[in-house]
Amino acid sequence: MSTTADVPAPHYSGPRRIGGITRLAANELPHPPPSPVRAAVADNVQLNRYPDPACTELIAALAKHLRATPEQIMLGAGASAILHRLIQIACTEPDHAVLWTSPAFAAFDVFARQAGARAQRVPHAGGETLDLDAMLAAITPSTRVVVVVNPHNPTGAIARQKDLRAFLNQVPNDVLVVLDEAYREFVTDPHVVDGAELAQARWAAGQENVVVVRTFSKAFGLAATRIGYGIAPVPLARAIRDASVPREIGAAAQSGAIAALTHQHAMRHNVARVTAERTRLLTELRRIGYAPSESQGNFVWLPLAEDSGRFAAHCYDDGVLVLDIADHGVRVTVGSPSDNDAFLRAAHTWVTGHGHILNAPSTL
C-alpha cells in the first residue's frame, strides 16, 4: 500500500528547473482517468449534499468485481485507512507486534505506534522476490499482524504463488496476514497469484486469517479522491466498517470508483503504457551502469545505500523529485515518457558528471 504520506518534504538546496519540478516520488499515475470517470465525478457530485453513508452502489460494484459478498467488502479513505484500522483491531495488548519487510511504506511505523504495538522489520534481502522464509522465522508469539506487500513497495519485489501459499500454510491461525496489493494491476509476472481469489479459497477451507487491501489511487488514477478497498471475512469486515468515520468516503470518491470499475479497459490501457515505460527505464538504467532488479510496481528501485541521499539531491537539482529512503535506496515512479526522459538525464549525469547524455536513447 502506498499514499503521498510516504513522500517526505524535500530538503535539497541548489538550483531548480524553471517551470517547476518533475514529480516522481509518490507513485501517482501519470495519466488522468478516462473521460467517463471524470464526467461521472463532475455530473454526480452535489457539493451541498452528503454522500451515501453506506456506499451501497460502490459496495455492490466491488462485490461483483472481487466475486465476493457485499458483507466482505472493506472501504476506507485510502488503503492506508483500512490497514490502520486492521492494526488497531488486531493489536490490543502492549506486547503485540506488527511485522513487515523493510524498507517499507513509512506509515506502517506510524500505524503500529498508534496502536501501541511494536514494529518487527525483516530486511529485504534484495532481488526480485520477497524472503518469506525470513518473515516466517521472524514471527513470535507477540506477532498479531503480518503485512505482505505484493508487489513490494519500494523495491518492486514479489511473492510468487507457490511461495506465498507455502508461507500462509505455516503462519499461525491467530496471526492476521494482510496482503497489501496496492500495485496489483501493474504485475506482469504470471506466477503472482490474485490475492482476493487466494484469500477466499482459504476462507472456504476454514482459514480466516488472510485479508486483502487494494486501492483506486494507483492504476485507476484516483489518488485525489482517497479511496481504498479490500475484502475480509464477514466479522472482520464488519468491525472495519464499525471503526470507520461516518461518511468517510466522499461523493467524488464513490462516483469515480464506480465509473472506474465500469471502464476497466481504460485502466488496463494506462497500465500497459506504464509497464512499457517501466521496461524502458530498467533497460536504460542498466545500459548506463545501474543495477536495478525487476519491478512489478509502477516504480523502479535503485539500491544505492549510503549514496541514496546524494543521488536524490542531484536529481532534485536537475528538476526531478524522487523518493530517497535513507541508506537504502531511491524509488522512482514511472511517469510519462517525458518525465522518464528527465529522470534518465539526471541519472546519466550522476554517472558521467557531464551535462549531456552520451549515446542517448532516441526518445530523449
Enumerate residues 6+ apart whose C-beta is below 8 A from 248: 75, 76, 77, 81
Strand pairing category for 143-149 and 97-102: parallel
Of 227, 234, 141, 220, the residue nearest 185 (C-alpha): 220
Half-sphere exposure of 261 (CA within 13 A, CB side): 18
Residue 22: domain span: 4-32+265-351
State whether 145 and 234 are in the same domain: yes
Distance CA 154, CA 129 (A): 13
**CATH number of the domain bearing residue 201:** 3.40.640.10
pLDDT grade, residue 46 (50/70/90)? confident
Number of neighbours of residue 137 by Cβ within 10 angstroms: 10
Report helix, strand and coil shares of the chain as percent, to nearest 5.
40, 15, 40
Residues 284 and 258 in one domain: no
Domain count, the chain: 2
Residue 270 domain-assigned (yes or no): yes
Give the 3-state DSSP-derived string for 124-149, with helices as H, strands as E and coil as C: CCCCCECCHHHHHHHCCCCEEEEEEE
- CA-based end-to-end distance of the chain: 32
Q: Which H or E run includes 270? A: helix 264-287
Domain boundary among 221, 246, 263: 263
Same domain? 251 vs 269: no
pLDDT by residue (tens digit) across 252-293?
A: 999 999 999 999 999 999 999 999 999 999 999 999 999 999
**What are the angstrom distances between the C-alpha of 272 and each of 18, 65, 149, 268, 291?**
31, 20, 21, 6, 23
Do 46 and 182 fall into the same domain? Answer: yes
**The residue count for the chain:** 364
For residue 101, tell me if it sits in a domain. Answer: yes
Section 121-149 average pLDDT: 97
Percentage of residues of the chain with pLDDT beyond 90: 89
pLDDT digits (tens, 9 = 90+) for 92-113: 999 999 999 999 999 999 999 9
Do 71 and 156 lie in a common domain? yes
CATH number at residue 274: 3.90.1150.10
Percentage with pLDDT > 70 across the chain: 92
Same domain as 11, residue 56: no
Tell whether 166 and 201 lie within a shared domain: yes
Task: Report residue 259 as a C-alpha cell.
Answer: 465509473
∠ CA(85), CA(140), CA(229), 5° rounding?
25
pTM of the model: 0.91
Confidence of residue 19 (pLDDT cuts 50, 70, 90): low
Residue 67 lies in a domain: yes
In this model, does residue 14 exceed pLDDT 90?
A: no
Decide if 13 is inside a domain: yes
Give 145's strand partners: 98, 176
Considering the domain architecture, whether residues 24 and 61 belong to the same structural domain is answered as: no
Judge whether 129 lies within some domain.
yes
Co-location of 323 and 336 in the same domain: yes
CB 341 within 8 A of CB 353: no
Q: Within this chain, do residues 203 and 328 fall inside the same structural domain, yes or no?
A: no
Q: pLDDT for 160-186, tens place per residue? A: 999 999 999 999 999 999 999 999 999
Q: Which three three-digit cell numbers place residue 250?
A: 466522499
**How far, rounded to the nearest angstrom, does the alpha carbon of residue 70 sit from its chain's CA centroid?**
24
Local confidence band at 353 (pLDDT 50, 70, 90 cut-offs): confident
43 and 27 in a single domain? The answer is: no
End position of a domain, from candidates 263, 287, 315: 263
pLDDT for 86 equals 98
Decide if pLDDT at 37 tops 70.
yes
- The grid coordinates listed for 50 are 452528503
Q: Is residue 358 part of a domain?
A: no
Q: How much is the pLDDT for 6?
A: 42
